[in-house]
Structure 1
Amino acid sequence: MVNGGEGLRWGQLLGITLVVGLLSWIGWRVYLDNGHLLSQVSWISTVLLVAMALLVVSAGLPVRRFLRGEARKPLNALRAARTLVLAQAAALTGAAVLGWYAAQEAHALADLGLPGYRTLAWQLAGVCGGAVLLAVAGMVTQRMCRVEPPSDDRD
């Protein structure tokens, strides 16, 4: 469980999104300049990202209940630690996926006149939204795993 001010921060996720987005944008620019088109994106990708976000949050709820004293059964410390790792992995994955697809979205929006790019832009927007949800779910679940330091000054 996260103790004190440790853990992922929003700025770190933003940095990952920007770095992945920039590198992806450059890669896609080279790919597109060689006469290729962007590939279609399945709506299933969006559904899977949203489902993963829901699963991450649902995994954090028992930890939150235990830390608030609302749990009916004891919580295995290993399960709590694994939930925290899952939450952080989800946040990092959401940030990276957002950067990857946002770069494609930027290229699609720049070339909306190409056949199928209008639909592709909507699909990419959906995947970007799913990635944001996954990152937010990871950060919220990380917060659920936070153990506040004791209020007194004893070691």
Structure 2
Amino acid sequence: MRARRTPLAHYLVALVLGLMGGAGISELGMSTRTDLMGVPWLVSVLLFLLGLAILIMAFQVHRYAKGDRKQMDLRFAVNVLIMSKALGIACAALLGWYGSQALISMGHAGAPYYTRVMQECLVASLVCLLDVVAGAVGEWLCQLPPDDGPENPDRRKKSSRRPMADAADTADRAEIKADSSKKHS
């Protein structure tokens, strides 16, 4: 299976769906006079920390792909790639969600409730924008270098064989040499 980069269209679709959902919730909240808008500050902090953690893990995968790091569980690398993709798409949707609420609240900025909602949603939108970028960068960091085939001189230097396989080949060659010397004598 070959992983492909997330197309820009996927981010845009998530953003538009988030905009529609956020606008719908805002209109519903204003028409029913219920407290449906806004975002707790803790959510913005947790989203920021999540993006930072995924970016740090993606950098570790990048170090392994470059050869600076000797060992890595390949399941970890795949999971970091999946988390980077999910972070980018989910935060694009949340960017639309919180951004639309912030835009709608700007029309009512004179009221303290809408001022608070606008501030919360603007901060959350900024954090979501940073997370979209972190997801895309994390996805880029997780890509493997191109495989140029067995003719590549770098590939010949970095043998992917196990030491036991090399030892078995050496033993086989010694055995063949011994058999051929017995036949000639």
Shift of residue 33 of structure 1?
1.8
Residue number in structure 1 paired with 2:125: 128
Tell whether 2:86 aligns with 1:85.
no
Counting matched residue pairs gives: 151
Residue number in structure 2 paired with 1:65: 63
1:94-113 pair list within 5 angstroms: 94-113=91-110
Shift of residue 57 of structure 1?
0.4
Look at both structures and tell me which one has the larger radius of gyration over its CA atoms: 2
Shift of residue 116 of structure 1?
2.8
Residue type matched to 1:20 in 2? Answer: G
Shift of residue 34 of structure 1?
2.5
SS at match of 1:116: helix
Segments of 5+ residues of structure 2 without an aligned counterpart are 152-185
Residue number in structure 2 paired with 1:119: 116
Pick 1 or 2: higher relative contact order, CA cutoff 8 A, min separation 6: 1
TM-score by length of 2: 0.72
SS at match of 1:74: coil
Distance verdict in 2 for CA 1:118–1:28, change over 3 Å? closer
Residue number in structure 1 paired with 2:41: 43
Aligned-partner Cα distance in 1 for 2:102–2:138? 28
Aligned-partner Cα distance in 1 for 2:107–2:7? 32
Residue number in structure 1 paired with 2:172: none
130-139 or 116-125: which moved more? 116-125
Residue number in structure 2 paired with 1:32: 30
Shift of residue 22 of structure 1?
1.4
Residue number in structure 2 paired with 1:19: 17
Segments of 5+ residues of structure 1 without an aligned counterpart are none
Aligned-partner Cα distance in 1 for 2:138–2:2? 11
Aligned-partner Cα distance in 1 for 2:45–2:59? 21
Identity %, equivalent residues: 22
Residue type matched to 1:142 in 2? Answer: E
Residue type matched to 1:111 in 2? Answer: H
142-151 or 55-64: which moved more? 142-151
Residue type matched to 1:24 in 2? Answer: G
Aligned-partner Cα distance in 2 for 1:127–1:13? 17
Aligned-partner Cα distance in 1 for 2:65–2:75? 14
Shift of residue 98 of structure 1?
1.1
8 A contact 2:25–2:37 mirrored in 1: no
Aligned-partner Cα distance in 1 for 2:134–2:145? 20
TM-score by length of 1: 0.85
Shift of residue 150 of structure 1?
2.9
C-alpha RMSD of matched pairs (Å)? 2.3
Shift of residue 144 of structure 1?
0.5
Residue type matched to 2:126 in 1? Answer: G
Aligned-partner Cα distance in 2 for 1:153–1:34? 67
Shift of residue 91 of structure 1?
0.9
